[in-house]
Amino acid sequence: MATNSPSPTVKSIRSSASTVPRGVPYSLRRPFTLITSAARAIAPPRLYFTTRRGCSSRAECATRHAMDGRERALAEAFDGQAAQFERAPVQTDPVALARMVEFAALPPESRVLDAGCGPGIVAEAFLAAGHRVQGVDLAGEMVRRARERCARFGARARFDQGSVFGLAAEAPFDAAVSRFVIHHAADPVAFVRAQAERVRPGGVVLASDHVTDPHEPAARWHQEIERARDRTHERNLTPGELAAAFCRAGLSSVQLVEDGFELDFDEWFDRGTPALPKAEVRARVLAGRARGFEVQKRADGGITLRCIRVLVRGIR
Ligand SMILES: C[S@@+](CC[C@H](N)C(=O)[O-])C[C@H]1O[C@@H](n2cnc3c(N)ncnc32)[C@H](O)[C@@H]1O
C-alpha cells in the first residue's frame, strides 16, 4: 500500500507501524495525531492501511508491494486520463450527482468513504450536502485533483492515494460510496465487500456504475468495444448482477434504480486508453447494439451512445 499524502493520517500510520504489536485493541492502537482538537471534531475518520500477504510490516509493504501490478497499471492509466476525465460532461452532470446524494439518503453529517474517488467530483457533492468525506484512489494525479477541488471544505475532506483493498477494515464510516469503479474491478463482489467492510453495522453502501445487456451476445459485443477503447476496463455488470453483488457481499434492503445517460463517441473515445485505433472502434460501434449501449448516428456525422447507469444501495 502506498500513500504519498503529507496528511497527519500518513504520519500516524508510519509512527504506529513498527511499534504496535498485533492483537492490541483498536482503541489502544490509535496513534498520536497532529491535527488540532477542533479539527478532530469535524474530520472524517482516519484510514489505516493494512499489510498485504507476504509482508511482515506496513513499512515493508509500503516499499515492496505498494500496489500490485494490476493496480499500478490502473493508476498509470488514470494518471494519464485525469485531466480529461475531470472535464467530461458525464462525470460532472449536476443532476446525476444530486440524484446520487439523494438516493444515498444519509443522515446529516455522515462520515463517507469515497472508494476510487477520482478527481473528487462525487466527494464534492457529498461534502456540499454537509457530509464528511475521505477519498481514496490508486492514481496520484486523481488524488491531487481531488484535494484541490475540495480544498474549500477544509478538514471535512481528506484524500489519500492507495487501494480500497489496502484500507484496514475497521468500519469507522457511516457510508461507503463508489461511482464508475466496479467495471474496473477484477472481482466486483470483492470490491463491494471491501466497501461494506469499512462501514459500521446499519451503515449505507452505495455504488453507481454503467451497466450492460443481460442478453449474453449483446453484452459480449459491448464489452469488446469497451476494452478496445479502455485497457483498464474489466467488465460492465448487468443491473441484476450488480444487485446480486450487493446481496453476495452480505448487504440487506438492496435497492436499485436505473438512469439513462448519453455519451458522444469522440469525447468518450478520446479520453480512453485504447487498445485499437479509433476508426476500428467506431466501425465496431456502428455494427451492433446492446441494452445500455444503444448507438445513434447523428446528422452531423457524430455518434451518440445511449447508456444506462444504475444506483444500488444496501445496508450493512
Ligand atoms: C472511472 S474513475 C471514477 C472516479 C470517480 N469515482 C468519479 O466517478 O468521478 C475510476 C477510479 O477508480 C480508481 N480505482 C480503481 N480501483 C481502485 C481501487 N481498488 N482502489 C482505489 N481506487 C481504485 C481509479 O484509479 C480511478 O481513478
Quote the CA–CA distance of 78 and 272 in Å, as a whole number. Answer: 9
In 3-state terms, what secondary structure has residue 21? coil
Average pLDDT of the residues of the chain = 84
Quote the CA–CA distance of 9 and 13 in Å, as a whole number. Answer: 6
- Tens of pLDDT along 72-121? 889 999 999 899 999 999 999 999 999 999 999 999 999 999 999 999 99
Q: What is the pLDDT of residue 69?
A: 84
Q: Is the CB of 2 under 6 A from ligand 1?
A: no
Q: Which of 179, 194, 137 is nearest to 160 (CA)?
A: 137
Model confidence at 47, pLDDT cuts 50, 70, 90, reads low
The domain locations on the chain are 13-315
33: exposed, middle or buried (Cβ count in 10 Å: 0-12, 13-18, 19+): middle
Q: What is the pLDDT of residue 65?
A: 45
Q: What is the pLDDT of residue 188?
A: 97
- Tens of pLDDT along 128-173? 999 999 999 999 999 999 999 999 999 999 999 999 999 887 768 9
Considering only the top CATH level, what class is 13-315?
Answer: alpha beta
Q: Is the CB of 141 under 6 A from ligand 1?
A: no
Quote the CA–CA distance of 82 and 86 in Å, as a whole number. Answer: 6
Q: What is the pLDDT of residue 73?
A: 87
pLDDT at 8 over 70: no
- Tens of pLDDT along 168-197? 877 689 999 999 999 999 999 999 999 999
Question: Strand pairing of 132-137 and 293-297?
Answer: unpaired
208: CA distance to ligand 1 center in Å?
12
Question: 4, 75 in Cβ contact below 8 A?
Answer: no
Q: Is the CB of 137 under 6 A from ligand 1?
A: yes
Q: Is the CB of 126 under 6 A from ligand 1?
A: no
Q: What is the pLDDT of residue 61?
A: 47
| Closest CA to ligand 1's atom 17 | 116
Q: What is the pLDDT of residue 67?
A: 73
Q: What angle do CA 190, 212, 83 make, to 5 degrees?
A: 75
Mean pLDDT confidence for 226-255 = 97
In the chain, what percentage of residues exceed pLDDT 70?
79
| Closest CA to ligand 1's atom 18 | 163
99: CA distance to ligand 1 center in Å?
20
Quote the CA–CA distance of 227 and 301 in Å, as a whole number. Answer: 24
